[in-house]
Amino acid sequence: GIQVEQSPPDLILQEGANSTLRCNFSDSVNNLQWFHQNPWGQLINLFYIPSGTKQNGRLSATTVATERYSLLYISSSQTTDSGVYFCAVLNAGNNRKLIWGLGTSLAVNP
């Protein structure tokens, strides 16, 4: 089945720094989402981005479907950005199972 790999697994930033998180996937996808799981455990949708680029405030994401990767950019990081960032994809086809990466654990220090 499709494999989803995220990097780096862990990241520590000083407040105000920028970062790029990467998600590689091994097959064609028709759905890619980025989620943030905050320290209280809530899973929050960040982007639905099967292709192209989207921006939402300090966050932006780019998916290059032909090259099978997606990037999540966090600019001017804040302590509230801490948590785990997950990438999840849906294979092209009828199966609705999201395939999840293991996540990038981000800690932003004041």
Can you give the binding site for other proteins, defined by CB under 8 A? 30-31, 33, 35, 41-45, 48, 86, 88, 95-98, 100, 102-103
Sign of CA pseudo-dihedral 62, 67, 69, 71: negative
Give the bridge partners for 99, in sequence order: 89
Q: In this structure, are residues 88 and 74 in contact, taking their beta carbons and an 8 Å threshold?
A: no
Least distance from other proteins to the Cβ atom of residue 14, Å: 27
- Neighbouring C-alpha atoms within 13 Å toward the C-beta of 30: 7
Smaller CB distance to other proteins: residue 88 or 106? 88
CA distances to 17, 21, 59 from 77, in Å? 5, 13, 9
Choice between 13 and 46, CB closer to other proteins: 46
Rg (CA), the chain: 13
User: Rounded to the nearest whole angstrom, what is the least distance from the CB of residue 84 to other proteins in the complex?
Assistant: 10
- Closer residue to other proteins (CB): 8 or 16: 8
Instruction: Give whichever of 56 and 96 is closer to other proteins, judged by the CB atom.
Output: 96
Whole-number minimum distance, CB 92 to other proteins, in Å?
Answer: 11
